[in-house]
Amino acid sequence: MTRAEYELFLQVAAVICAGAAIFNLFLIRRRGASGGVMAIAFLVLGFTILAYQREGQSTAVTVGGSIVVLLLMADVVIRSAKPRK
């Protein structure tokens, strides 16, 4: 994989994250808070990918990844607290 292909891959991944965030925003009525948390998680992941692509500070990438993990854990807690139908 060349450097240009790698850059394109990261850009496409960030666009997919943005699409997933928009998709989760449409599901807020059905999923409740879980949809909002997932939308935010996808946005943070997309920005983290872009920061990595632009060779940002490793601290920013690490913090972004940590926030994504915390948001995914919050989603698990929200979904497990919800009674199943």
Residue 84: pLDDT band (50, 70, 90) is: confident
Coil, strand or helix at 57:
coil
Alpha helix (H) ranges present in the chain? 3-26, 28-31, 33-53, 58-81
User: Is residue 82 pLDDT above 80, yes or no?
Assistant: no
Q: How far is CA 19 from CA 7, 11, 55, 59, in A?
A: 19, 12, 23, 26
Please report how many Cα atoms fall inside a 13 Å half-sphere around the Cα of residue 56, on the Cβ side.
Answer: 14
pTM: 0.87
User: Is residue 85 pLDDT above 70, yes or no?
Assistant: no
pLDDT digits (tens, 9 = 90+) for 6-59: 899 999 999 999 999 999 998 888 888 888 999 999 999 999 999 998 887 888
